[in-house]
Structure 1
């Protein structure tokens, strides 16, 4: 029954368990004269990852090439088990459950919830009509008991069929809940049961396929340098848009298997077992917020994120005073800056001549070190300026060659944005920037997940419009 995580496409890992590990078990059974061996295989052993399967039975051959390492090695392990039947009195049987789900699952439901929380579960890949067969975990366990009983009574086949091709075919059994369902309807019921929205935006598989190929190609190129294994791959797109249904009649007739838990009851029990993953039970954020990472962990972050309310209110009051005295009056940036420096100089001069105590209050003097720029800081600042200058020169050199269109478009776009910002008055910038600085970062830190979800909804709408446009364009070309 052992197998590595099927989502990890590592051939050596799967081979070590599904093939070599199975061989070790078979050898031990033969040596110790074990009479019955049941191998938990997978319905994926007959799936090539491209062509759909409708009500497939055990006569389906292995495909010339499987779509992942898990399926390849499960098929190899299954072959070993079938070939070992009859050796030293060993009776074997292979069970091929399709889409196991239920309490304790660490792959299907957690991955669906993770996608829902990331806002990715709104999408349906394909037309949403692909049919799947799922099997509740208790039914899989029950099938193992049925198979063991059949082997114990030697009731699967007669001795006349020993060693024949028909005998080999009869050693594998597809297991399902015998209730085919649309794949995306099953996903919807799980998500809806946990309080998330049903997938509703259909994206044609052909629209996603070029993107998936590009992602896979990028991973092959950058994988050795630390790029994470992508979720969006061509095989995954096909898996989510193909039909995979199987006929369990043989398991019913040969080993007496019948589901003891219905599909709807299985979904109900599964949803109830994952109450901790419900939509309202949002996980606590681990590590610093994005706002804190953006601002750094210094005084500015404490001030703008309201960590130190006294400091925040003081800074806000000071900026309001600056606004009404230097910005609202309509001064140019240079005039406002010079007047601000004049006011600062007068304040520092008066502050400097005041005594240490006045009317019983202690006046803290501003130390000279606050205005001192260390040699290291000066050096770093100079290096930063020089680096920025050299980068600009390199960009100009690349532009002069006239063969880098991507760089040209980036420069043009950056200058257009800069010209747009330059057209905004200093007063407008202050009015926009002040609330963003003192309220925007604070609100984003408190409502990070909700705001991210809103942004994702906007992007989702864009994707929907794009997919609709692609669909209309395709239908227009077909009509032509």
Structure 2
């Protein structure tokens, strides 16, 4: 049955190609009672497999795409003329370090949208805000409602701009007949997420997702993207039915189910195949280090990964839960997708995206150091059975040579005698004993190929020539660095041997079976920690150098 064209209304989705914008556009088109004008800052509309609904709607003229820069009011006026509702989603690709650009887009852009709506006779403006506008990063929020005041200072300048934009939306209500509503969603996630879930994936890839900031008991509210879209439509209907209690107001939007922040993160990273967070880190040192690194990159005028990491650490260590009774009562909003179903669909979407990516397995540094062969497989516990028997065999040898009470020579002779007897006796054993097959050792097992002998000879020659070159270099003198390296290494070896060769060998054996494996497991974390330490050291160095007194230019050198 065809839709009655008289019931079809026209709306504009500003920011319609962003994460929430795409979800809202899809929902509007599925309803079938809207003609949707999708507006965004990209010059062309690049459609993919997930945009089949929008592609069909454009073909049937139920949807259209418009390139709009919110900093240019005439462009906004041109696209919203004749519409009854404007959904202002806002940009989700802003870089927080470019403060001037963010201010022009977020604050000045909101002013232009309001002014354009007033000039074009648009009656309803729904603004997609964020719960961050009441969070200062310091004080926890428990069951917060719309009576919460905005903090005097924000941890992020971008959040400050969004709070200013929300204030403009609120005070624009009833200007030239325009009705406004602001929706404050808390930590939005879902398929196509471009911020929160990708940040978690990057954390997991870098190894940082193994760490928890804080005690892990803090609660948070999360909001599935389809529920945010549903809330926008509820706001439009509420403005028609009971305008007085909705217009000019802000409403918190969540999934109505607060959960522990780190439980949610664990569900996501573990569902994508990464280890769940387990190691707890104290909040203050983490925030201090991230603040220092953030300040360093801001001074350099470049985009800061640590700015996003600092905001995440604040969210991850604070309780943020909100009371949505006002949205339920006045907007008629209730979640249409449960938190569990939202997590499942998000994991399914991101799992498919990760499978499409061209990530290839990269050999670890530990594997490269050990030659990427059988030794690496044993010491890195790739084959636990081989590793266990190798470790057991080495321990037996260690006991035989150092704790048997015999000299090294007599122990070696006894071991060779036992090996000869066992090898000779193996030849007389039947092929099966009590149903178990006895494997014979073929003679070729003891043969050494000519190529192996040649390679071994080459290695000996290369090592000898290398030693000769070192001796020649030392005999000429002048290379003090090489001298100290060689002399220090020999002296260290002397100290080790003089103490206890048994202790040294036991330590080396234990180190080999644990250190390489541990290093491989935490290679990325160690690399990033080393990088953080290096950057902190460079910052401290700069601070010390800046505080040093400048040389007196008037003083003259003693010797000319």
CA drift at 1:152: 2.2
Paired residue for 2:523? 455
- The separation in 2 between residues aligned to 1:23 and 1:418, in whole angstroms, is 74
Local SS of the residue matching 2:180: strand
The TM-score normalised by the length of structure 2 is 0.52
- The separation in 2 between residues aligned to 1:25 and 1:130, in whole angstroms, is 38
Q: Deviations over 1:241-277 (max 9, x none)?
A: 0111111110011111110111011101111111235
Paired residue for 2:251? 173
CA spacing shift, 1:189–1:229, aligned 2, 3 Å: closer
Paired residue for 2:457? 321
The TM-score normalised by the length of structure 1 is 0.60
2:340 is aligned with 1:253: no
2:236 is aligned with 1:148: yes
Q: Deviations over 1:166-209 (max 9, x none)?
A: x88x6100000000011100011111221222101111112323
Q: Is the 8 A contact 1:36 1:152 kept in 2?
A: no
Local SS of the residue matching 1:40: strand
| Aligned length in residues | 338
CA spacing shift, 1:73–1:419, aligned 2, 3 Å: farther
- The separation in 2 between residues aligned to 1:47 and 1:326, in whole angstroms, is 66
Q: Deviations over 1:270-313 (max 9, x none)?
A: 111112355x8874359x9898xx99xxxxxxxxxxxxxxxxx9
User: Larger deviation: 4-13 or 61-70?
Assistant: 4-13
CA drift at 1:74: 1.0
- The separation in 1 between residues aligned to 2:129 and 2:268, in whole angstroms, is 25
CA drift at 1:5: 3.2
Local SS of the residue matching 2:204: helix
CA spacing shift, 1:316–1:247, aligned 2, 3 Å: farther
Q: Deviations over 1:337-394 (max 9, x none)?
A: 39x99xxxxxxxxxxxxxxxxxxxxxxxxxxxxxxxxxxxxxxxxxxx99x99xx8xx
CA drift at 1:79: 1.0
Paired residue for 1:337? 468
- The separation in 1 between residues aligned to 2:459 and 2:125, in whole angstroms, is 82
- The separation in 2 between residues aligned to 1:335 and 1:254, in whole angstroms, is 83
CA drift at 1:50: 1.1
1:427-466 alignment to 2 at 5 Å?
A: 452-456=520-524
CA spacing shift, 1:459–1:259, aligned 2, 3 Å: same
1:211-360 alignment to 2 at 5 Å?
A: 211-221=289-299, 223-224=300-301, 229-230=305-306, 234-277=310-353, 283-285=358-360, 320-323=456-459, 337=468
CA spacing shift, 1:416–1:188, aligned 2, 3 Å: farther
- The separation in 1 between residues aligned to 2:180 and 2:303, in whole angstroms, is 42
CA drift at 1:7: 6.4
Q: Is the 8 A contact 2:144 2:323 kept in 1?
A: yes
2:111 is aligned with 1:43: no
Local SS of the residue matching 2:164: helix
Local SS of the residue matching 2:149: coil
CA drift at 1:217: 3.9
CA drift at 1:323: 4.8
CA drift at 1:28: 0.9
CA drift at 1:48: 0.8
CA spacing shift, 1:314–1:150, aligned 2, 3 Å: farther
**Mind listing any 5+ residue stretches in structure 1 that lack a counterpart?**
159-166, 296-312, 328-332, 342-384, 393-411, 426-449, 463-480
Asked which structure has the greater RCO (Cα within 8 Å, sep 6+), the reply is 1
CA spacing shift, 1:290–1:181, aligned 2, 3 Å: closer
**Mind listing any 5+ residue stretches in structure 2 that lack a counterpart?**
1-88, 370-448, 498-517, 531-560
Residue in structure 2 matching 1:110, options 174, 177, 198: 198
Residue in structure 1 matching 2:151, options 63, 75, 83: 63
Residue in structure 1 matching 2:282, options 204, 210, 214: 204
- The separation in 2 between residues aligned to 1:415 and 1:83, in whole angstroms, is 78
CA drift at 1:108: 1.5
Residue in structure 2 matching 1:190, options 268, 278, 281: 268
CA drift at 1:111: 1.6
2:235 is aligned with 1:157: no
CA spacing shift, 1:44–1:323, aligned 2, 3 Å: closer
1:49-128 alignment to 2 at 5 Å?
A: 49-128=137-216
- The separation in 1 between residues aligned to 2:118 and 2:308, in whole angstroms, is 43
Quote the RMSD (CA, aligned, Å): 4.4
Local SS of the residue matching 1:5: coil
